Every structure is written in C-alpha cells, then in structure tokens.
Structure 1
Amino acid sequence: MATTTSTAAPVSLASVTLEVADLEAARRFYGAFGVDTYIRLRASEAHSTGFRGFTLGLTVSNPATVDGFFTAAVDAGATVLKPAAKSLWGYGGALQAPDGTIWKIATSAKKDTGPATREIDEVVLLLGVEDVKATKQFYVGRGLTVAKSFGGKYAEFAADQSSPVKLALYKHRALAKDLGVPADGTGSHRIVLGSTADSFTDPDGFAWEAAAPAAPTPS
C-alpha cells in the first residue's frame, strides 16, 4: 500500500464498488432502485458488523422524486432507517439496502414544483472519518481538490468529469447519528473506491484500487 505522495500520480475517484454477499440479489435490487449505473458490485464474504462508516447519497429535484426512489427501494427490499420528512434544509430520509449499504435520498426543495422523475442530480459518497482535517489533507496530498470545507466537520472534493460519484468527508459519529444508526462497527467497510492512479488505503481504512474499465451492460 502506497501512503506517500511525493511521486504518486494525482488520484481521482473513478468508480465505487460495493462488496455484497449475494451478487445476483444485489443486481436485482439496485436495478429496481434505479442506481445501478452509478455503482459496481463484487461478490465478497468479508466479515462486517454494524455501521460500515459510509453512506451513498442521492440528491434529486423535489420531494415527489425522493418519495419515488424511497418507494422503489422499499418495494425491492430496503429497510427504512429514517422516513422521508421535511427539515430545515429540505426533504429527505435514509434507508438500508438488503446488502447493508446505507443510502440517503434528499432534495433542498421543500415543495414540489413539478412531477416526480427518476432523474438523479448528484450522487455523493460520504466517508465517515475520525479526523476530517487530517483525512482531507491526506487526499489533497494525493491530488484531490477541495471544493467545500467547513472546519473539522465536513469536506467535499471537486468531482472528476468522468466519475458519476462525488467524494466527501464527515465526522464518523456525526454521520451515524444523522443516519439514525449506532456508530460502532467492525470488520470490512465492504466498499472499494476505484482510483485513476495507484492503489492505497486511507487513514480510516477505506481501500482504493486501480479502477478497471466498466463492464459492458448486458443487452
């Protein structure tokens, strides 16, 4: 694992792979949920308990679209962690896929200005980390550019045009609290980040590997 940055090529997030116990079941779920083009899946029996330390978030246009994605996910087998509801920042909630991955679906709009769609404005991979400032500097050293930063609480990196997912950092315990789950967890994160450069592991144990080309979609 490379952890130095002096000679490493700049890295960016090329793909997100979820490690699942039942590959075919996961494919069916994510196809029905409508996010299968944003992630990759890999069969794995890696041990994992409790909170895996990350969430994937969908930003959409209006509350009706949030509800549409929630309904599709629940009908396909997801468990609701936080029902979609209005808040100070908009409307949204959180659910857990059958493979254990937690998804948050939200919009900044509090009222519908149009019909529900199946369009996704943005997908964000939010890593729960112990020290946001230190992990942010680790990634800056790897060549990522900070787009937003709020002290030691949150950091967001500029998205690569070729990547369908944006990377951001949040305090581990604050993320768990926001999702409505206990913060404790052991074992594998059950996620692998595709790197445009070399393979490495970040300070919180999230693994990056050189990204393979995307597999062709079956016709």
Structure 2
Amino acid sequence: MGWTRSLGRGLVIAGLALVAGCTSSTNPPGPAQGTGAQGSSAPGSQSASPVSAPFLRTCDTSVYGDLGSDWRKGGLAAGPLTFVGLGSVGSAAADDFAPHAGRYRSIKALAVVDQGADVTVSIATADLGHAALIYDPSSIRDDGLYAVNDGESAVTFRSCAKGQKNALGYGGPTQFNGGFVVDGPRCLAVDVVASGRPPQRLVISMGRGRCPISG
C-alpha cells in the first residue's frame, strides 16, 4: 500500500518512505486479515485511561492510500475509528519485539477515522511505560526503532469535516499514518473515547496470540 501525505498545506511527499519510522517487519502493508488473534473490542468494559494533553493529529496532516473494498472487515474498530494494517502482529515471534540498543521496532497501524469525528486513543494505565503511540510526524525515525518514551501516551485524531477533502484533494474517511512501540510481547490495552459515544477498550495482541476481551 502506498500512502501520500501532506505536511501542512503546501508540501506534499509521496510513497512509503515518509512512514519508514512507523513500519515494522512484523506486519506487511495492507489491511489486517482478521481481528480474532489481533485484538478485541469491549464497549464500556473499563473506564477510559486518564488523558493529559494528548498529541493532536488533524485533517491537514492526514495521508491517503487505496484501502480496497474490505478494509473495515479486516480492521480493528472502536466507534468511528478503525486500525488497519496490524496484519500478523498477534502471531509474531518474540524476537520481533526484542530491544536493539534500547529501542524497539515500531508496529505500523493506519488509523482511519470517519469524517466529522474526534477520537482520542490512550494507552491504558497498566501499560504505561511499556507501550506508546507513534503518530507525531516529527518523531518518525529513519531506522524505524523507538524507545517507549519517544512516543505519546495519548493521541487525538481530528478527522476532516463531513464532505471536506483533505489537503491532498481526497475525501472519505480520514487516514493517519503511524503505529505503536512496545517493549516486548503483551496484550496491549488502549482506551478509545469519541464524542457522543461511551468509552471503549481495545485489547491488541502484540505477539501474544489471542488476548482476552477485557483489559
């Protein structure tokens, strides 16, 4: 899958090179093939993690790629948000999460948000210090290796307004490139809060096979 991304309103960069820092060898480009071993959604099963000044991604910094017709079916969804591209991360070998001079390979996950929605994703309290979100374009590293403290504990995705095209001229659900960094295999819990909806918890398998629904 190739993505095109806008940095601000004027500068446009095309191709996968711009997301090299958010690419993991544990997952190929493209929508995940299923969520059974990757994660699960538990509406209202846990209260949302405390969110303090989450990093903000807006329509102007969104990307675009052809997701195909069945991208929602293969994604991991919570309300208006779908994570696409987790691929085979749940069944990845422990070595794929091993440290490299104190840093870890990032796990790429495209965040796709319905138009007109604000969604905040936060790492659950129990996983803080072990995992982080990598969605700040300025934090992308050429080698794709990150320390947990290189990422954010919470990110707000502010999609394009209904009917609005992004800076690249594309409409439809808003796409944000990025992913996760984790310091080893785990069942990672993230809390998702969208306006007008109850909080939801997603439990994502990072090299742990099938994870329980609740965090």
Bin of the TM-score, shorter chain as denominator length: under 0.3
**Structure with the larger helix share:** 1
Tell me the TM-score normalized by structure 1: 0.27
Structure showing greater radius of gyration is 1
